[in-house]
C-alpha cells in the first residue's frame, strides 16, 4: 500500500503519483486525497503535521494514468502553514486541495463518544452470518472488489449497506490495513485519508433504496473535507461511523468520525456527493 500511494518528485514542488489500484476506469478519490496529501507533506520541511484538508473533485480522473501534483505555499507562520495541491492528468486539472499544517500543542479537550459498540469481533460474526443467510453474497461483485482493496473492511450491518432496500442513512464499518504500514505519522494520516472516501457517499442513498453502481443513480464525490484530531495507527482496527443528515437537489451530504479501539475520536470527515436520479428506459 505505501508503494501504491508513493509520489516521486519531478521538479520544484512537482510530484508524480502512480496509478491504481484500479477498481474501475475512474481514479478513486481517496487515492488522489492520499497522494496529494503526501505531496504537500514532502514540501512541509518543519515539524508540522497536516491537521485538515479540503478538496474538490473537478473532473473524473483515469485509474490507468499517473497523476501530476503541483504544490504551492499559501501561508507560513510559526504554528500553522497552508499549502495548495493541484492534480493534473493529460494537462487537465482534475482535483484541487488545500492542506493546513499545525505544530503539536496542548489545550482543552472533549470528544463525542462512539455511536456503536467497539466490538470488531461482533462485526465479523455478523458478516459471516449474513453470508450464510444470503446465498448470493459470496459471489456479489462488491465482495470481490473489497477483497482487492488494500484496506480491510468489515461492515456492522452488511444488509443495509449493500442490500437494495431502503434503510436509515447511517452505518459503520471497521477498517485497517491488510499489511502493516509502520508508524510514520505522515503515512498513517495519508492512509486514513485514502480510507475516508470508502463506503461513504452511499449513506445519503440508503433511505432511497439505491446504492453506488445502480442504474437508477449517477453518483460521484464532489468535495471532501477531513480533520485529523490525532495520528491514527491504521495498522490496527478503526471504526468509521458515518451518516447522512441531508439529501436534495441531486446532491447528498455525508459526514463521519473515525474512532480507534480505545474509543478515541481520531478524525472527522464530511463530503457532498452527486446523486442524480437517472431516467429509466421504458
* Cell numbers standing for residue 202: 452511499
Is 47 assigned a catalytic role?
A: no
Q: Which of 197, 233, 260, 273 is catalytic?
A: 197
Please state the length of the chain: 282
Strands of 251-260's sheet in order across: 7-11, 14-17, 67-76, 80-89, 92-102, 49-57, 217-228, 265-277, 251-260, 238-248, 170-177, 151-155
Taking the C-alpha atoms of residue 147 and residue 7, their distance in angstroms, rounded to an integer, is 24
Distance of alpha carbon 152 from alpha carbon 176, whole angstroms: 5
Q: Which of 35, 100, 188, 271 is catalytic?
A: 271
Radius of gyration of the chain (CA): 19
User: In angstroms, rounded to a whole number, what is the distance separating the alpha carbons of residues 170 and 120?
Assistant: 18
User: Which residues have a Cβ under 8 Å from the Cβ of 13 and sit 6 or more positions away?
Assistant: 43, 70, 71, 72
Q: For the CA atoms of 211, 213, 215, 221, what is the dihedral angle to 10 degrees?
A: 80
221 is catalytic: yes
Residue tagged active-site, from 100, 120, 221, 273: 221
Our CA angle for 217, 35, 246, nearest 5°, is 35
233 is catalytic: no
The shares of helix, strand and coil residues in the chain, as percent rounded to the nearest 5, are: 25, 40, 35
SS3 state at 76: strand
Place of cell 478524525: 267
Question: DSSP letters of 92-110?
Answer: EEEEEEEEEEE--------
Catalytic residues: 197, 221, 271
Amino acid at each position: 500500500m505505501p508503494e501504491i500511494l508513493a509520489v516521486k518528485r519531478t521538479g520544484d514542488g512537482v510530484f508524480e503519483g502512480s496509478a491504481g489500484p484500479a477498481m474501475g476506469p475512474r481514479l478513486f478519490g481517496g487515492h488522489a486525497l492520499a497522494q496529494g496529501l503526501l505531496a504537500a507533506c514532502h514540501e512541509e520541511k518543519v515539524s508540522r503535521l497536516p491537521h485538515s484538508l479540503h478538496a474538490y473533485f473537478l473532473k473524473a480522473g483515469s485509474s490507468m494514468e499517473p497523476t501530476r501534483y503541483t504544490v504551492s505555499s499559501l501561508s507560513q507562520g510559526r504554528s500553522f502553514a497552508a499549502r495548495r495541491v493541484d492534480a493534473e492528468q493529460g494537462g487537465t486539472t482534475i482535483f484541487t486541495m488545500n492542506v493546513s499544517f499545525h505544530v503539536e500543542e496542548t489545550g482543552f479537550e472533549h470528544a463525542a463518544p462512539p455511536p456503536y459498540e467497539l466490538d470488531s469481533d461482533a462485526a465479523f460474526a455478523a458478516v459471516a452470518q449474513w453470508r450464510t443467510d444470503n446465498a448470493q453474497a459470496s459471489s456479489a461483485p462488491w465482495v470481490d472488489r473489497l477483497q482487492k482493496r488494500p484496506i480491510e473492511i468489515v461492515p456492522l450491518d452488511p444488509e443495509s449497506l449493500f442490500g437494495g432496500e431502503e434503510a436509515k442513512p447511517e452505518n459503520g464499518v471497521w477498517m485497517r490495513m491488510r499489511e502493516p504500514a509502520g508508524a510514520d505519522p505522515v503515512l498513517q494520516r495519508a492512509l486514513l485519508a485514502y480510507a475516508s472516501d470508502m463506503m461513504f457517499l452511499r449513506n445519503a442513498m440508503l433511505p432511497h433504496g439505491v446504492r453506488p453502481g445502480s442504474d437508477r443513480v449517477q453518483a460521484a464525490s464532489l468535495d471532501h473535507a477531513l480533520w485529523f484530531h490525532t495520528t491514527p495507527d491504521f495498522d490496527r482496527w478503526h471504526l468509521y461511523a458515518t451518516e447522512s443528515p441531508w439529501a436534495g437537489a441531486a446532491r447528498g451530504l455525508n459526514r463521519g468520525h473515525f474512532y480507534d479501539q480505545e474509543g478515541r475520536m481520531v478524525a472527522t470527515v464530511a463530503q457532498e456527493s452527486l446523486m442524480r436520479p437517472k431516467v429509466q428506459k421504458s
